[in-house]
């Protein structure tokens, strides 16, 4: 079966711009979680969507937002980009996302803000 | 103090050596996950376990719920095992998300 697909793989944006990243989960998985990974901070939780509803949110500013569509595909948006937003953004899909079931991760989107 | 602690942070081994990576946690968990991340970013789930021991090829994962400790063992290590290994615990509903991650162990296996 197809894995988790994240697009685009690489992105270069200018400070102040906005960006939208996409994540298509494994068919049948209703939970999509987003993470930011930087060398200094490791993996940090952004938010989780389940059946089109944001179920949990990490400690990130309001510039970071997301949504999930009826087909479970999810997007995250970062507005007014800052240099510190440069990171690898990973999404993970799970059957129900409580941590008791397996997670499948995408290959990530590497965002560089210049 | 981090809720999920891994040791060691960095590990260099010679090909063929037996390797152990440790993970301790301080919260109640629904399950523990071992993940592998190669350079380039993609994360692969190796194991999910809530008790006992699991084995897949040369990889073995164990968990002791009472001691809140898990280990990942690699037998007959190979250079292709070089990667970052991340321990994550399932902790539903917390502000850190449903998975709390350790900082990772960077493994380098020399030929």
Q: Do A105 and B101 touch (CB under 8 A)?
A: no
Q: Which of B41, B86, B91 has its CB closest to that of A88?
A: B41
Find out whether A3 and A104 touch, Cβ atoms under 8 Å: yes
pLDDT per residue over A37-91, tens digit each? 998 888 999 999 999 999 888 889 999 999 999 999 999 999 999 999 999 999 9
pLDDT-derived band at B62, boundaries 50, 70, 90: very high
Give the Å distances, CA to CA, from B41 to A59, A81, B74, B83. Answer: 23, 22, 21, 10
Sign of CA dihedral A48, A50, A56, A60: positive
Residues of A in contact with B44 (CB under 8 A): 105
8 Å CB contact between B83 and B104: no
What is the rounded (10 degree) CA torsion for A113, B96, A77, A41? 0
Query: Is the per-residue pLDDT at B88 higher than 70?
Result: yes
* Mean per-residue pLDDT of chain B: 92
């Amino acid at each position: 079966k197809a894995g988790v697909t994240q697009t685009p793989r690489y992105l270069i944006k200018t400070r102040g711009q906005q960006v939208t990243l996409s994540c298509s989960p494994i068919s049948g998985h209703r939970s999509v979680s987003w993470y930011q990974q930087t060398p200094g901070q490791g993996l940090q939780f952004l938010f989780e969507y389940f059946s089109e509803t944001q179920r949990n949110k990490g400690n990130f500013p309001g510039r970071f937002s997301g949504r999930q569509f009826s087909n479970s595909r999810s997007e995250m948006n970062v507005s007014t980009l800052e240099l510190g937003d440069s990171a690898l953004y990973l999404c993970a899909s799970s059957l129900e996302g409580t941590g008791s079931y397996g997670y499948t991760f995408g290959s990530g989107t590497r965002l560089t803000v210049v | 103090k981090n809720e999920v602690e891994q040791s060691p942070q960095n590990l260099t081994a010679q090909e063929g050596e037996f390797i152990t990576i440790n993970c301790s946690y301080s919260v109640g968990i629904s399950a523990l996950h071992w993940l592998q991340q190669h350079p380039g970013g993609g994360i692969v789930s190796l194991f999910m376990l809530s008790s006992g021991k699991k084995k897949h090829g040369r990889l073995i994962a164990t968990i002791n719920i009472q001691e809140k400790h898990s280990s990942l063992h690699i037998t007959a290590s190979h250079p292709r095992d070089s990667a970052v290994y991340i321990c994550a615990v399932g902790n539903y509903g917390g502000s850190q998300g449903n998975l709390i991650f350790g900082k990772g162990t960077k493994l380098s296996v020399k030929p």
